[in-house]
Chains A and B, each alone.
Chain A
Amino acid sequence: MSPMLCVLEQRDGTLRKVSHEIVAAGRKVADAMSTTVDALVFGHDDVEGLDALGACGADRVLVATHDTFRLYSPEGQTATIAGLAANYSTVLFAATATGKDLAPRVAARLETSCATEVTDITVAEGRVVVTRPVYAGRAIQQLRMMASTAVLSIRPNTFPVTDAGRPGTLESIPVPEFTANVEVVEVKAPAEAALDVGEAAIVVSGGRGLKEPENFSLIEDLADAFGQAAVGASRAVVDAGWRDHSAQVGQTGKTVSPGLYVAVGISGAIQHLAGMRTAKVIVAINRDKDAPIFKVADYGIVGDLFEVVPRLTAEVRKLRAEG
């Protein structure tokens, strides 16, 4: 069986966390197929963290270096991957902003479809079979990939990283000639580096129950108390202009699978529930004990969020201070 190619992501010269998950997913399939895993990294200079990729499951780490790879280069990266893809049974991306842009370009070069936002991968009769949510999480689809090279993107936070103990040998690879019609000119980082709701291990989301946009400070405080937590929002408050669309969880927003999801003052419209029901643990805080959110929550507190949330923030801070 041909090996797996995992296309990794870096930002500012550091591998992104999701890159480990791509390699872990590749390792899982490679073990089922008795084959090897190559990890492909794009950069314009040294990239930090490549030495950890063997542990995640990479047999080889391929490094493609080019001046334009300081930022995302759609055409350069497409050309590089497309030049290699025929040697692989599967090319894996992350279903991130970059992966969602890049994977279909590569699939088009291979004249096939990719499968995006994959949450599980198995192998049956020598073919890759993927599981992926459709209808914004209201149904689950299984697809058998028919092309000789399957192109997939995996959903962040769904493939656990375990110590695989592979060599992770570094190799440089050439970048083919390409024409750059599309140029990423700049990455504008927000004043405070905000964690993305789609990738964070903990998401604290607020809804209409907060009553005023200013009260989102309660949510921010709680997220801060957890550490490494992103602030999410329901569609209602995004539509009302309280929060940026990038924070929206659910239909027309993001589908998230964090380890912990805390829903504050969110009643739980079906579109919201579909977007967060794959979280590992769900906590709901709402004053209406009949709110639909409690039907999916593992733990609920019925009460006034303006009393409950500050107390929770304090307790979490206390716990973390105790270590």
Chain B
Amino acid sequence: MSSPAANSRFTGVDFYEADRLLSEEERAIRDTVRTWVDDNLMPIIGDCYVEGRFPKELIGGMGELGFFGANLPEAYGCAGLNNVAYGLIMQELERGDSGVRSFASVQGALVMYPIFAFGAEEQKQYWLPRLASGEEIGCFGLTEPDFGSNPAGLVTTARKGDGGWVLNGTKMWITNGSQATVAIVWAKVGEVDDPASIRGFIVPTNTPGFTAKDQKGKLSLRASDTSELHLQDVHLPVDALLPESSGIKSPLMCLTQARYGIAWGAIGAAMACYDEALRYAVNRVMFDRPIGQTQIQQVRLADMLTEITKAQLLTLQLGRLKDDHLLTPQQVSLAKRNNVNMATECAREARRLLGANGILAEYHSMRHMANLESVYTYEGTHDMHSLILGEKITGLSAF
């Protein structure tokens, strides 16, 4: 009973004392989310995943504690945190489950952020407090069936008519789509080959002509709703337009926000897997000794810890750059690409270390492993981020 891993609560992974680089408030915020995840999410997440159900009963509590859009100003009912604290929230949520972190990412970075960045004052005053509390739930409609990695090609249209706007189109792979009470929909107000005509619209999902249906048969992110949105002659008032949105650059700015959160979230998933693997390795006895006493498992654990530690330091610096307004989208690409890939590897190695038990939902690594395949793919696939970095390095675009 001497192992540090032999207690049930998650105490983090911090080999390089990165905690010393955090302020007292940042640590306190991290600990609130960590405790909340232990108390509220961990007891149910395995069942939610197996049942293919997003735990929507947790939304109110998350809103009350201030998890949504936490880096937006207090004046709009948000917590007014810096970006490192925001990142730590994402890390801790994804330590629980990527689907739950995705929910918070979408709500904060893809719904609240565009309203904050591109909305009129009245829009901000109306929507942000309601989204912060979880009273309203948002989704982000950018991706279309034929336009994933190339969102500039989207074909959803917004036309003037009836004293307002009329939207038509189809969106796919939309997290929270069927739960959402409001959608941020990106559409072209000009020609379909003109990405500069892309604008954002606030679409209450009870508007006639708007329908959402869940995409079934997912083997990943099962505790998260992924939906298809159909907009057929959706009539909106003039003030549904986000007035400051302008061209493909606007949704891409949102994606940079979300990817920033994903870079942190992936560390959480990796830490969860490492923690589970470590506990198992020191307790599981085979051939009269803990499997953690075998070289092959020690290599696994050493590799995981090394990669997690590198990612922690990398991402903390990314956060400090963001707080100093020095962040570039390519730096976010590097972190998203590295961290998600790292987490995917950790999850796979942890699952293997867990042996047969590792395929059970009672353990967490395989759930993370399957989830991370989605995280690897969404918000700019791993490969797209390679090309973004490639372009940055060489000045030559390969896409």
**A residues adjacent to B (C-beta < 8 A):** 236, 240, 267-271, 273, 289-292, 295-296
Contacts and interface: CB of A to CB of B under 8 A. Distances in A.
Listed from nearest, the 9 A-B pairs whose CB atoms lie closest are A270-B7, A269-B8, A290-B283, A290-B284, A295-B1, A292-B6, A269-B7, A270-B6, A292-B1
B1 A296 contact: yes
Contacts of B6: 269-270, 292
Contacts of A240: 43
B285 interface: yes
A240 B8 CA distance: 15
A299 to B, nearest CB: 17
A269 B279 CA distance: 12
Q: Give the interface centre of A267, A270, A271, A296 by most chain B CB atoms within 10 Å.
A: A270
A290 B286 CA distance: 10
Nearest to B4: A270
Contact of B1 (A236, A270, A289, A290): A270
16 contacts: A236-B8, A240-B43, A267-B8, A268-B1, A269-B6, A269-B8, A270-B7, A271-B7, A289-B285, A290-B283, A290-B284, A290-B285, A292-B1, A292-B283, A295-B1, A296-B1
A273 B1 contact: yes
Interface string B5-16: 011100000000
A217 B344 CA distance: 44
A296 B6 CA distance: 13
Contacts of B283: 290-292
A270 B284 CA distance: 17
Question: Interface size for chain B: under 10, 10 to 19, 20 to 34, or 35 or more residues?
Answer: under 10
Contacts of B285: 289-290
A111 to B, nearest CB: 38
Interface in B121-174: none
A292 B6 CA distance: 7
Contacts of A292: 1, 6, 283
Contacts of A290: 283-285
A293 to B, nearest CB: 10
Interface in B33-61: 43
Nearest to B39: A239
A265 to B, nearest CB: 14
A237 B10 CA distance: 19
Interface string B280-292: 0001110000000
A271 to B, nearest CB: 7
Contacts of A296: 1
A273 B7 CA distance: 10
A278 to B, nearest CB: 14
A269 B6 CA distance: 7
Nearest to B8: A269
Nearest to A291: B283
A236 B43 CA distance: 10
Given A236-B8, A268-B1, A270-B7, 19 more contacts: A240-B43, A267-B8, A269-B6, A269-B7, A269-B8, A270-B1, A270-B6, A271-B7, A273-B1, A289-B285, A290-B283, A290-B284, A290-B285, A291-B283, A292-B1, A292-B6, A292-B283, A295-B1, A296-B1
A273 to B, nearest CB: 6
Nearest to B43: A240
Q: Give the interface centre of A267, A290, A291, A296 by most chain B CB atoms within 10 Å.
A: A290
